[in-house]
A and B are shown apart, each in its own frame.
Chain A
Amino acid sequence: MTPGLLFTQNGSAVNRNEIPEHSGERFLETLVSAIQGGWRVVSYFGAPEAHLVRLYCILSFKSHAALGIMSTAVSGKSFPSLVAEAPQLHLFEREIAEQFGISFEGHPWLKPVRFAAPLASTSAVPPRAPEKVGVMDFYRVAGDEVHEVAVGPVHAGIIEPGHFRFQCFGEEVLHLEISLGYQHRGVERMVLGRPGLRTLKCMETVAGDTTIGHGTAYAMAMEALCGVRVPAKAEAIRGIALELERLANHTGDLGAIAGDVGYLPTASFCGRIRGDFLNMSAELCGSRFGRGLVTPGGVQFDVGRELAEKLRKRIDVARREVTNAVDLLWDSPSVMGRLEGTGVVSEKDALDLGLVGPAARASGLNRDIRRDHPFGIYNVAQLPVETAKGGDVYARTLVRWLEIEKSLHFIEEQLAQLPGGSIASPAAQVGGDQMALSLVEGWRGEVCHVALTDGRGELERYKITDPSFHNWSGLAMALRGGQISDFPLCNKSFNLSYCGFDL
């Protein structure tokens, strides 16, 4: 294992003063050697301290289910960039630069991430106003017959806003640059102070389609800070809700992928079946998106025998229908012809960029928080991790489908053996001067929350890393060398979150 890190586990809290504090040089050395030794960066962010900014890096080592933490203080205007050695740091460094005004020496693309106002700055950096959203130096390719296509922020359809710049040679995309920030609501700043109900509501809506994922990650962080244990029954209900969320989104996306290649039967069937999964979440808690279900300490709604039986029957029907609808895809050569070989992200690129979730697994990376850093119910009930080789739209579709099968099975199993007992532990005092860390495998991939409290137990910094933060660069890579007309299809196979990224 790499020295220089404080080791901890998913869903636990550490005292802030135990976190190793390194000189800048040692910090960077440790980071590089950890990455070379198989560690992966889960989060890398700054937190303001008197006259300086403290950088925290959280790393994961999957085979030991270990998480490592270290920090360094930056008091000057700049800090060396490690992007050349570790491309997975690319956006993290840009984010820190934007949030704290620290410039990363040697970073190839030190451009705004969200065009947001800085959170704080060191005394060496004068405060600055944010740039106008979407206005920046885009990468350009010059030459005869090279042309640029700019799309967004407002797109056709009911979709979140973002701006895309394609450098094209005819139909071929040489480069795609993605500029976001339009959805920036200032979530990380809003939740500072004493955590309460409003904090939970903001967390549930970091990305609305990942309500259970982000809600659970927040609840886990609070539970770690309070030293509260979640009852077994609540863990099972959270697991059911998390897998229902995966089912609804994967099913919807398989339908959308089918729609994008013009295969309407699967598109319309899946569009409807997705709703059935959402309605099952609504049976659990009244909300199709799982709002109000997860709360620090447990869940707010019980599942009795009758409801469990009802859900089991509905899962059974949904399994038959979704299998029937998706099977059509594999048997249609014209559909397969469009999916295979489209939007390839190689295993090496996926690894370098630090992709997570189904997109990573479709490129052959075997990573899944449910197994690598198990939390809640996944400590006692394992789900097989599904991977594929190709890294193309087909692989991402296939992995999604295999995950649907596994989630259906998992939910049935959990419903059949729900433990008894209470569904929530009483609230407790939030610990002061702590750092709590939680990782959840949401349907899009790894959701990471880090909470830092001050001496009174108030949130001094809250860092959210949505899986989209890792994966947007994957989408850009998928387009490289592809056809611009394949963009919607590639986009759908990733289905990344704008608001989860923009925060």
Chain B
Amino acid sequence: MFKAIIARCKQGHRTMAYPREPLSLPERFRGYPELKGGLCPDECRICADACPVGALSCQPELSLDLGKCLFCPECANACPHGAISHTADAMLAANNREDLVIRPGDEHRLAQALEAKMLSLFGRSLKFRSVVAGGCNACEADTNVLSTIGWDIGRFGIQFVASPRHADGLWVTGPVTEHMREALLMTYEAIPAPKIVVACGACAIGGGPFRGSPEAHDGVEGILPVDLFIPGCPPHPVTILDGLLRLLDRMP
């Protein structure tokens, strides 16, 4: 018992201050991309050819789909003109699928708060039921992290619960395999209305690395209406938390 108390003192208080204070991210972290379209010579499509998942397009101008992007080092490495680089900005979540497609000079379109009625329902207590639909376990792991002491997502009234009947929203990870489609829909049905849907990670948004697989559905699009898209493969926990706090209008 004493040993546990001493250990408790040694380990200290570790819950981070985010969103009051910014989180320091590793130097090599790849977040919101910066596109400098003016640097692209005509007909150049080196980056588009280098992208493993077709997230980049050069016609009619340079654009990058955050929903497909795996935030890998490939395009920035490939572009000889320095037109693409990743910043350390981890704020990526959006409410609309179109908001995830970015072009040079675009303003950064971040997730907006739920409308007033939904906010009054969910603003102080929001419970999610998670369905893993073909996810590789990394999106799941970094969602789970939010419930550890370092993040303590419970302090914002957000919680992951065991029963869909106790939930206000559905949390989807994975590209929605054919084998999980039915379970996903049944879980959605079991959540009482009004309810929200979060697509967490590149897979859930558009299939991720498995886009085009005949065994999966390229994400939740066309299967369920989505209220929050969280890009990343997997999204950093702070990207997830930031998106949720914006949705709940809880950013300071």
Whether A50 is near chain B, meaning CB under 8 Å from some CB there, is: no
Whether A432 is near chain B, meaning CB under 8 Å from some CB there, is: no
Question: B162 — nearest CB in chain A belongs to which residue?
Answer: A156
Partner of B144, one of A158, A197, A265, A282: A158
Chain A residue contacts of B229, Cβ below 8 A: none
B70-106 interface code vs A (CB 8 A; 1 in, 0 out):
1111100100000000100000000000000000000
Which chain B residues (136-170) contact chain A, with CB distance < 8 Å? Answer: 136-145, 148-150, 160, 162-163
Query: With A182-B180, A328-B4 as given contacts, are A158 and B52 in contact (CB-CB < 8 Å)?
Result: no
Docked-complex contact A154 and B183, CB < 8 angstroms: yes
Min CB gap A453→B, angstroms: 20
Question: A307 — nearest CB in chain B belongs to which residue?
Answer: B27
Min CB gap B126→A, angstroms: 15
Docked-complex contact A186 and B8, CB < 8 angstroms: no
Whether B116 is near chain A, meaning CB under 8 Å from some CB there, is: no
Of B10, B77, B173, chain A has the most CB atoms within 10 Å of the CB of: B10
Docked-complex contact B135 and A208, CB < 8 angstroms: yes
Docked-complex contact A182 and B70, CB < 8 angstroms: no
Partner of B132, one of A156, A160, A279, A288: A160
Among A234-242, A266-274, A386-394, A398-406, the stretch that binds chain B is A266-274
Among B57-65, B206-214, B219-227, the stretch that binds chain A is B206-214
Chain B residue contacts of A202, Cβ below 8 A: 209-210
Partner of B73, one of A182, A300, A325, A497: A300
Question: B28 — nearest CB in chain A belongs to which residue?
Answer: A286
Chain B residue contacts of A284, Cβ below 8 A: 28
Question: B70 — nearest CB in chain A belongs to which residue?
Answer: A201
Min CB gap A49→B, angstroms: 23
Whether A331 is near chain B, meaning CB under 8 Å from some CB there, is: yes
Q: How far is it, in angstroms, between the C-alpha of A324 and the C-alpha of B8 when the chains are bound?
A: 10
Min CB gap A338→B, angstroms: 16
Docked-complex contact A205 and B138, CB < 8 angstroms: yes
Chain A residue contacts of B77, Cβ below 8 A: 300
Query: With A158-B140, A269-B7, A324-B11 as given contacts, are A275 and B145 in contact (CB-CB < 8 Å)?
Result: yes
Count residues of chain B with CB under 8 A from any CB of chain A: 66
Docked-complex contact A208 and B148, CB < 8 angstroms: no
Docked-complex contact A208 and B177, CB < 8 angstroms: no
Docked-complex contact B137 and A209, CB < 8 angstroms: yes
Chain B residue contacts of A211, Cβ below 8 A: 138
Question: A263 — nearest CB in chain B belongs to which residue?
Answer: B4
Count residues of chain A with CB under 8 A from any CB of chain B: 64
Docked-complex contact A207 and B137, CB < 8 angstroms: yes
Chain A residue contacts of B53, Cβ below 8 A: 198, 201
Docked-complex contact B160 and A158, CB < 8 angstroms: yes
Docked-complex contact B137 and A497, CB < 8 angstroms: yes
Chain B residue contacts of A182, Cβ below 8 A: 134, 177, 179-180, 183
Partner of A282, one of B29, B133, B163: B29
Chain A residue contacts of B73, Cβ below 8 A: 285-286, 292, 300-301
Query: With A161-B180, A283-B27 as given contacts, are A272 and B148 in contact (CB-CB < 8 Å)?
Result: yes
Chain B residue contacts of A156, Cβ below 8 A: 162-163
Partner of A197, one of B50, B139, B160: B50
Partner of B148, one of A133, A209, A275: A275
Chain A residue contacts of B183, Cβ below 8 A: 153-154, 161, 182
Docked-complex contact B177 and A205, CB < 8 angstroms: no
Of B148, B162, B187, chain A has the most CB atoms within 10 Å of the CB of: B148
Of B14, B50, B175, B179, chain A has the most CB atoms within 10 Å of the CB of: B179
Whether A445 is near chain B, meaning CB under 8 Å from some CB there, is: no
User: Which 4 residue pairs are nearest across A and B when measured between Cβ atoms?
Assistant: A208-B138, A208-B136, A156-B162, A286-B28
Mind listing 20 A-B residue pairs with CB under 8 Å? A115-B179, A156-B163, A161-B183, A181-B179, A183-B135, A185-B134, A185-B213, A185-B215, A186-B214, A189-B214, A198-B53, A208-B136, A208-B138, A268-B148, A283-B26, A286-B26, A301-B28, A328-B3, A497-B137, A499-B137
Taking beta carbons and an 8 Å cutoff, which residues of A are in contact with B? 115-117, 133, 153-154, 156-161, 181-187, 189-190, 196-198, 200-202, 204-209, 211, 252, 265, 268-269, 271-272, 275, 279, 282-289, 291-292, 300-301, 321, 324-325, 327-328, 331-332, 497-499
20 further A-B contacts with Cβ under 8 Å, apart from A289-B141, A328-B7, are: A154-B131, A157-B160, A158-B160, A160-B137, A184-B178, A189-B215, A196-B52, A197-B52, A205-B136, A207-B137, A208-B139, A272-B148, A275-B150, A286-B30, A286-B73, A289-B234, A292-B72, A332-B4, A499-B135, A499-B136
